[in-house]
Amino acid sequence: MHKTYIKLLRLSQWIKNLLLLFPPFFAGSIFNNSLMENGFPALLAFCLAASCSYIINDIKDIESDRNHDGKKNRSIASGEISVSTAISVAAILFFLALYISFQVSTNFFLYIIAYLLISASYTYFFKEIVILDIFIISAGFIVRVLAGGEAFGVPVSNWLFMTVFMVSLFLASGKRMGELVSLGKDAHTHRKSLSSYSLSFLEGVLWFSASSALVMYSLYTLEHRSRLFYTVPLAAFGLLRFIYIAKEGKGDPTEVLLGDRQVMGVGIVWFLVICFVTYT
């Protein structure tokens, strides 16, 4: 039974919340702050809020998920957990996230509220609106970075903000392309907006956002710490590899990061190089 609830929470998606650590990590101050006092509660609050939003989304999409080869096995769609039980779990997560976030700071609490509102607006209003849907997804990533800056007391630079925005736009469009390729002619039955997207358009968005992200990241490294500029080729490889995978019909960012050896490998090297440059 506990495995069913773990699946309901989508723990693998919590990796996205590591974005909260980006501001102090790049600032070289992550070890100067108490992770137990600042980082852990902040991460926990966002993880609980994220799981709450995933449950609400699964309840809303229960019928379409049952017609999807992969998503039909989700806890709610498969009937392993009833809708009423899922609502109760979501409510508990909601209030826990708010309580913990308020202990971090008032502004961090407001970021949690903003994230939950963005997630709810996506689920109930913007998910089926072409282009706007991927922008709303991107907004969720941006809020995480800004919340991390607040939790750790580190200002988020304009270049970091734009880099994260372009990368999140890149990932969101890649996910849509992956869905469009994998679902084929049945794509519109799962998500209405997919009937309005075309592969050529999404590929254009991928190349546009990837190019912009690379430029923004390059400028950020030069402004922030020039030796980080040598991590740009690693970032370029990661972006190109994701485009290749998305065109194969596997564009879920979390699955790619955890499931593709090349992406995971270059990510680890990128992380280690940044650690060496920033903390030595």
For residue 231, the tally of other CB atoms under 10 A from its CB is 19
Cα-based distances in Å from 268 to 5, 161, 197, 254: 30, 22, 33, 15
| DSSP assigned state of 155 | P
3-state secondary structure of 74: coil
- Chain segment 222-247, per-residue pLDDT in tens: 988 888 999 999 999 999 999 999 99
**Assigned token pair, 124:** 């109930």
8 — pLDDT class (breaks 50, 70, 90): confident
Query: Which candidate, 193, 187, 204, places its Cα nearest to that of 243?
Result: 204
Angle (CA) 188 65 75, round 5°: 165
**Which of the 8 DSSP states describes residue 131?**
T
Greater confidence (118 vs 31) lies with 118
Question: Within 13 Å and on the Cβ side, how many CA atoms surround 244?
Answer: 9
Q: Give the H/E segment covering residue 84.
A: helix 83-104
* Residue of 207 and 190 predicted with greater confidence: 207
Which pLDDT band, with edges at 50, 70 and 90, does 4 fall under? confident
Nearest C-alpha neighbor of 207 from the set 218, 199, 197: 199
Mean model confidence pLDDT for the chain: 89
State yes or no: pLDDT of 27 exceeds 70: yes
Which residue bears the tokens 């989304």? 57
Q: What is the percent of the chain with per-residue pLDDT over 90, rounded to a whole number?
A: 58
